[in-house]
């Protein structure tokens, strides 16, 4: 069909473009013949134009209905896409505006480490038989290891990102399965104390949704989370975080905090318009957090655990502080 239309289109062009030749030495008969031919040719020209016009009209209608392919439709799909978007389509970059990175522990814990070095500075007595809360637990690796190493009575990990909570639940199942296999090999009995009864994960934006009338905790962890709350909810969000933690702790309870330094805010300030805006307006810098927690929030004491922290991977050599209520 397309070929036929193209051919008749060429014919029409040829007819319009070629002039009828005229010659000086001609007889009357020849002139009459020429006139007849001219008339015939004109009527042929008209009928061809009519056919072409009709066919073009028909084709346009069919293209509109999508019954036949137009030139663009006949190109391979990739080429069509390239034409629509002349710049080659870039792979969509994932962004993590809350520090909700996938595979966070892949960056944090290098292959030569047997465990997260932060576990070495945490004290058993803060966890053994205690009810604990881990704010911003990401994929739950640290939460699970704390429960397993120190024997918490309960530990709840909360994270703003439901995908990370899903990862955490998967890690928990995987951890328990591996532990059961190891035990079976050692003792012949596959069942260990059930970590499923101790560790749980929940999606929650801690700044907005925690119901303060509910549970109280003996120990609350907030490791590498303050920057993300600060950048996303500003100074108000940070003060909300600190005061909620204080109210959720039992008297004598421990708050373990690993704040990111101000220089690391710079690197992430552009993850969203909100973070960029808060970065410009933040007044309370991480170097003031200790003073705020002691003087304004009401914690009694602080212990700096950083000095005993060794072997941390580059970029994660951060201060760890433990406050007592």
Of 51, 207, 292, 302, the one binding ligand SAM by CB under 6 A: 207
Query: Alpha-carbon distance 259 to 224, whole Å?
Result: 6
DSSP letter for 260, please: P
CB of 97 to ligand SAM, least distance (A): 9
Beta-ladder partners of 27: none
By CB under 6 A, residue 230 contacts ligand SAM:
no
Beta-ladder partners of 155: 132, 199
Q: Contact at 8 Å (CB) between 150 and 127?
A: yes
By CB under 6 A, residue 167 contacts ligand SAM:
no
Beta-ladder partners of 254: 219, 324
- Please report, for the chain, how many H helices and E strands are present, in that order: 14, 7
E-strand spans in the chain? 131-135, 154-159, 199-203, 217-223, 249-258, 301-304, 321-324
Query: Alpha-carbon distance 315 to 27, whole Å?
Result: 102
By CB under 6 A, residue 320 contacts ligand SAM:
no
Q: Which is nearer to ligand SAM, 75 or 203 (CB)?
A: 203
Within 268-307, the residues that bind ligand SAM by CB under 6 A are none
By CB under 6 A, residue 206 contacts ligand SAM:
yes
By CB under 6 A, residue 309 contacts ligand SAM:
no
Of 109, 121, 122, 142, the one binding ligand SAM by CB under 6 A: 142
Burial of residue 98 (CB within 10 Å: 0-12, 13-18, 19+) is buried
Centre a 10 Å sphere on the Cβ of residue 58 and count the other Cβ atoms it contains.
13
Binding mask 92-131 for ligand SAM (x = CB under 6 A): ------xxx---x---------------------------
Q: Which is nearer to ligand SAM, 159 or 218 (CB)?
A: 159
Residues 263, 269, 274, 279, CA torsion sign: positive
Query: Alpha-carbon distance 275 to 247, whole Å?
Result: 27
CB of 290 to ligand SAM, least distance (A): 19
Of 133, 158, 199, 321, the one binding ligand SAM by CB under 6 A: 158
Per-state percent for the chain, helix, strand, coil, to nearest 5: 55, 15, 30
Of 195, 223, 257, 271, the one binding ligand SAM by CB under 6 A: 223
DSSP letter for 140, please: S
Q: Which is nearer to ligand SAM, 52 or 159 (CB)?
A: 159
CB of 313 to ligand SAM, least distance (A): 12
Q: Which residue of the chain is nearest ligand SAM when measured via CB?
A: 136
Query: Alpha-carbon distance 283 to 285, whole Å?
Result: 6
Q: Contact at 8 Å (CB) between 202 and 158?
A: yes
Of 126, 133, 201, 224, the one binding ligand SAM by CB under 6 A: 224
Of 117, 136, 253, 286, the one binding ligand SAM by CB under 6 A: 136
By CB under 6 A, residue 132 contacts ligand SAM:
no
171: helix, coil or strand?
Answer: helix
By CB under 6 A, residue 179 contacts ligand SAM:
no
Of 130, 164, 171, 318, the one binding ligand SAM by CB under 6 A: 164
Count the site residues for ligand SAM by CB under 6 A.
23
Residues that bind ligand SAM in the complex, under the rule CB under 6 A = 98-100, 104, 135-138, 142, 158-161, 164, 204-207, 223-225, 228-229
């Amino acid at each position: 069909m397309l070929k036929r239309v193209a051919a008749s289109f060429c014919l029409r062009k040829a007819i319009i473009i070629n002039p009828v030749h005229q010659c000086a030495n001609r007889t009357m008969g020849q002139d009459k013949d020429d006139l007849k031919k001219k008339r015939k040719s004109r009527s042929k020209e008209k009928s061809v134009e009519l056919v072409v016009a009709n066919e073009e009209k028909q084709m346009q209608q069919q293209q509109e209905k999508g019954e036949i392919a137009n030139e663009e439709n006949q190109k391979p799909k990739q080429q069509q896409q390239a034409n629509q978007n002349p710049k080659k389509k870039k792979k969509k970059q994932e962004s993590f505006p809350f520090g909700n990175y996938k595979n966070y522990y892949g960056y944090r814990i290098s292959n030569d480490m047997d465990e997260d070095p932060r576990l070495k500075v945490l004290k058993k007595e803060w966890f053994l038989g205690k009810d604990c809360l881990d704010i911003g637990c990401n994929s739950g690796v640290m939460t699970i290891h704390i429960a397993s190493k120190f024997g918490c009575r309960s530990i709840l990990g909360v994270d703003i990102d439901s995908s990370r909570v899903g990862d955490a639940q998967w890690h928990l199942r995987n951890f328990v399965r591996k532990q059961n296999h190891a035990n079976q090999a050692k003792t012949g009995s596959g069942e260990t104390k059930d970590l499923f009864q101790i560790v749980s994960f929940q999606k929650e934006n801690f700044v907005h949704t925690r119901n303060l009338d509910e549970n109280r905790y003996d120990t609350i962890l907030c490791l590498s989370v303050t920057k993300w709350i600060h950048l996303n909810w500003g100074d108000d969000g940070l003060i909300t975080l600190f005061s909620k933690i204080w109210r959720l702790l039992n008297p004598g309870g421990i708050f373990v905090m690993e704040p990111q330094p101000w220089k690391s805010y710079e690197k992430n300030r552009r993850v969203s318009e909100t973070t960029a805006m808060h970065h410009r307006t933040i007044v309370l810098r991480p170097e003031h957090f200790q003073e705020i927690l002691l003087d304004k929030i009401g914690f009694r004491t602080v212990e700096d655990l950083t000095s005993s922290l060794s072997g941390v991977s580059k970029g994660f050599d951060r201060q760890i502080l433990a406050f007592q209520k």
